[in-house]
Amino acid sequence: MDRSTLKKRKKKRSILKKIVLMFISMLIIIGSYFGFVAYKAYDAASSSFNQLERGSKSKLRAKEITVMEDPFSVLLMGIETYSSGGKGGRADSLIVATINPQSKSIKLLSIPRDSLVMVPNKGSQDKINHSYNYGGKESTIETVETLLNIPIDYYATVNFKGFKQIIDEIGGVDVNVPFDFWEKSDVGGKKLYFYEGPMHLDGEEALAYARMRKQDPRGDFGRNDRQKEIIEASVKEMVSVKNLLSLDDIAEHVGNNIETNLKISEGLGVQKAFIGFDTSNIEKLALKGTDAYYDNVYYFELDEIELENIKEQLQAHLNHTN
> Which residues have C-beta within 8 Å of that of residue 172, sequence separation ≥ 6?
200, 201, 202, 203, 205, 206, 237
CA of 21: how far to CAs of 29, 31, 208, in Å? 12, 15, 51
Give the rounded distance of the alpha carbon of 47 from its chain centre: 16
Burial 18-36 (b: 16+ CB within 10 A, else e): eeeeeeeeeeeeeeeeeee
pLDDT at 37: 45
Q: Residue 7 class from Cβ within 10 Å (0-12 exposed, 13-18 middle, 19+ buried)?
A: exposed
List the chain pLDDT tens, one digit each, 322 residues.
555 555 555 555 565 555 555 554 544 444 444 444 444 555 555 667 788 888 889 999 999 888 878 999 999 888 776 554 445 567 778 889 898 988 888 888 889 889 999 999 999 999 999 999 999 999 999 999 999 999 999 998 877 777 888 788 788 889 999 999 999 988 888 899 999 999 999 999 998 998 888 888 887 778 878 877 887 677 666 655 454 445 555 555 555 667 888 876 676 667 666 666 666 777 888 899 999 999 999 999 999 999 999 999 999 999 887 6
